[in-house]
Structure 1
């Protein structure tokens, strides 16, 4: 899905204006690919699209900046590294207010400030909310993640509008009601994709666990059949003499299953 970020557009309700949909998808890209791979994926695809249709990018090659930072923020938040997202937002706000337009249209980044406050309040809890079993908490986490990434994109897009297009403070003030509505719609779309991605991932993991259990069971059954045949060659009198008991097939299966689970657990710990 992330491959088509620059190509996706959606029509605003009650308007002929078309908005690029990548801010809506930046959250799910960051979630699935993380901050590093997500960054490279977005930059690579955007560059390819830029060379094919450079007119679609209002800020020229600098149009790479907003989506790239949005994906980095989303990826960092989904991994619990909230400080990176906070730094990106703080830097963006500082840059915006350092401009003449920013000091006049000081209300323009109000939603970006709200996003920063949410990051500072929830911090690593955002990541925990995303992967929580409680569906309501998942929705809250998805909305925060989507909202933050959308507002990072908007904030840096606003800065580019000032620097690259020389937009006036009046332009920014006049569009506040419009961009608030647009960004909230993008947030909801992004949250939907995040929830969808999380649920699909859970489904894959669930079936992967079942498949792993089936493979282990199949291997154990086969191993027991082979080994149990060899027990007939054992001297039973010798076993009785030393009071040694050979475990039954079921007992052997349970022992091997326990050993397999311990080995898998230790292997997972080593990876972490």
Structure 2
């Protein structure tokens, strides 16, 4: 059996991590952004995550420590975006495996991973550079977690935190452009948002940036959590949230903006005397 301690040392290149994020899936979530993306979609708001050598090198254990803290604070789920998570399939698979084990350990009723089989076919790095943390260094990897008893029937999953992954790839790219083993890194996700961002095809559907992108539940939990949102449109109002860096030297935007929303935000900030320099969505 694979243990959490066996995946904790897997290296991963990351751009950011933050809790709570409320604009990338239901509820208050831990957001983790992988670094590196060769898809380079025109109009992408996260151009700073494209360079595979950018961000910082961490370990899956560090991310799982963050996930554990987020769970203790009542996180409703984990959202993995980027960048392109499938550009680091080993790290993605390890993170999803470890995140699943940790949520099971904290869930009072327990469940079997086999109960969430495929039904369709959450640390801040803003102050870290070159692999060095600004504080006391990376947190220790979590200890191994005990096995949980099997349950004869599928339990009530209504309160179990879910695992959501964004990828610019689509299933029909397998096995041509994308190896099957790379796509298999998504096996641990409860739901996946698939497809390139296409700036010329805006959509009002929640958590999707363009009309071609699909929200695909992959497990019973994913169906329960995301089926009500498959055709749900955004309500009026902003689709992104803003977080100022602790040092006050920058700001980060989290979410899936509507067409023109970032430009309006930039103008609104400028009207209030706040000028953004080198925003990540501008070439």
| Structure-2-length-normalised TM-score | 0.28
The structure number with the bigger radius of gyration is 1
Q: TM-score, normalised by structure 1?
A: 0.29
The structure with the greater share of residues assigned to strand is 2
More helix by share: 1
